[in-house]
Chain A
């Protein structure tokens, strides 16, 4: 995001300390206009504090915050073009859907005709037009979320903050509601910043994810880059499962870099996977990149192994494979046409292979 023009939110060197505990340390972030960005992290990573600083509910100790190019330092929360969707949705129980969605417009003194127009637009957008007279307790969880969304979007904010938007919903409902959230965002084009601790949710809904760790942004990238090219061990293991190896680079062979792991494996890495061989400290690979077979595999990285454990889960099976040196590898095997995973049993001797382009290289 070198293009400053397209950033709706620019966070520059923001730090925050509570009771001498640093919660945010030198956070820098540029959020591209019109995207869905997730702030992903465990509890205590600082994601909620960052959200509150954007909303203006907290002031940073240091650093600046610009929304649409405008410095927010002296701008109080109610004058910021930012609205927040609360984790509990915080719908007004005594007001109807209409009353809830209209609340902010009335509070701001928007004229009646304009109010009607925006109300109709927001209800249409969130498919709530026919529920206008219902009260929140007469709605399903998904509908309640849409009321909360409509109540914010009707204010036409530059940025909508969503605090754990799926936390109040049943698990089974989430996938569908996520798709709905994305489709509403695509229609309005408002920038959504979502705080979540759920990496699957972050991957499913976001254009970009800021992975937060101990008050810092560990990596800010689209989900696919984060998964395929994590910059650090933390990011690699926070998003999905990965086999990680410490070791050192030991020269190269037929154009491929050779990495000797501390537990006695040799891993060849495709040259396009590592820009700067000297900075490598850890390599890894995702379980689904491992090839497993009863017959030897023709692949630069191949080792014998024994199946330690297999668990069948329909679409795929998870296997744990022990190498002769005693290292355990996680493998995910797609169960396509009776192949691979479904035929293997614990104790089977197998051959495993790893394509050199499946190796992830980490510098931190």
Chain B
């Protein structure tokens, strides 16, 4: 490796993302971390000042109470667990549905690929909330699906679909699908077509070539796309709130509740920090293993 001095242009090029990361990631993260060790007070804002002086005595008001609570109360642990399970199910759903979609787009004639990508992303031009409400309309007891089944005589009572873990799963998979399809498509599309031609030339049937060439080469992209779905899915709180029930209380919802309803800012901050660490460690390990954005580390 050769080292060289950075020019002024280099420095300023690096400075922009550096300032961005510092101002919008590092500083807020530190603020949240600091908030998590503050002491709750019945005031506005609902926390004691960090440092106070009374009668010439300086006192620091800090406590690990929020973290003790997180460890002690089973509610938080089960909410973490249900968030992880839900995110994992969402991830699996996105992989199972998204991979064939990405593969189909990548194998379509070049001229039509952009159209298919456009179509795959098209629903996301409408607001996320509108689409969630549209799902509520579709799957509620008096919705078109139940109405159709009832009028066909296939069922006698509406199937309760809304407000269930399955409904949360359905809407989450639907919402997060493009986050998997787009990177997966990018990876599949970049695989040289000649590799499959060579496999066929050597006597591999399509299924064998898929298993031995396409899949192993697409695997890093698949894992990257899956992580891209999993991480935001863990913190998701709107969808479980809209279409879930009491059994789908997840850590994102708890955080919201602690902050806005219980006004326990330190506890909400501690949940945020704990979630951050919980996700940070495995994704760091993955990043070390994979190259940037799903390219195979050679």
- Residue numbers of A with Cβ under 8 A of B are 55, 77-78, 83-84, 86, 88, 90-94, 103-104, 106-108, 135, 137, 151-152, 155
Contacts and interface: CB of A to CB of B under 8 A. Distances in A.
Contacts of B197: 86, 90
B245 to A, nearest CB: 45
A108 B201 contact: no
Contacts of A108: 202-203
A255 to B, nearest CB: 57
A27 to B, nearest CB: 22
Contact of A107 (B195, B208, B296, B298): B208
A84 B212 CA distance: 19
B103 interface: no
Closest 8 CB pairs between A and B? A104-B202, A90-B198, A107-B204, A90-B194, A108-B203, A107-B203, A94-B216, A84-B201
Choose among B195, B198, B204, B296 the residue with the greatest number of A CB atoms under 10 Å from its CB. B198
A93 B202 contact: no
Interface string B194-238: 110111111111001100110011000000000000000000000
Given A77-B200, A90-B195, A94-B296, 13 more contacts: A83-B202, A93-B296, A94-B216, A103-B199, A103-B204, A103-B212, A107-B199, A107-B202, A107-B203, A107-B205, A107-B208, A137-B298, A155-B202
A2 B3 CA distance: 68
Contact of A86 (B198, B204, B216, B217): B198
- For chain A, what secondary structure do more than half of its interface residues adopt (helix, strand, loop), or is it mixed? mixed
Nearest to B196: A90
A14 B217 CA distance: 39
Contacts of A55: 201
A77 B201 contact: yes
B153 interface: no
Contacts of A155: 202-203
A77 B199 CA distance: 12
Nearest to B202: A104
Contacts, number: 56
Interface residues of B, number: 20
Contacts of B217: 93-94
B17 interface: no
B56 interface: no
A196 to B, nearest CB: 18
B216 A104 contact: no
Contact of A88 (B192, B201, B203, B298): B192
Contacts of A151: 202
B200 A90 contact: no
A306 to B, nearest CB: 55
Contacts of B202: 83, 103-104, 107-108, 151-152, 155
A92 B195 contact: yes
Contacts of A83: 201-202
A92 B211 CA distance: 13
Q: Kindly name the residue among B194, B199, B202, B213 whose own CB sees the greatest number of chain A CB atoms within 10 A.
A: B202
B194 A88 contact: yes
A211 B200 CA distance: 29
A139 B40 CA distance: 64
A77 to B, nearest CB: 7
Contacts of B194: 86, 88, 90
Interface string B51-80: 000000000000000000000000000000
A94 B204 CA distance: 16
Contacts of A92: 195, 198-199, 213
Contacts of B195: 90, 92
Contacts of B203: 78, 104, 107-108, 155
Contacts of A88: 192, 194
B199 to A, nearest CB: 7
B123 to A, nearest CB: 35
Contacts of B296: 93-94
A103 B204 CA distance: 8
Contacts of B209: 107
Nearest to B219: A94
A152 B204 CA distance: 13
A268 to B, nearest CB: 54
> Which residue of A77, A90, A135 has the most chain B CB atoms within 10 A of its CB atom?
A90
15 contacts: A55-B201, A77-B201, A83-B201, A84-B198, A90-B197, A92-B213, A93-B217, A94-B296, A103-B204, A104-B204, A107-B205, A107-B212, A108-B203, A152-B202, A155-B203
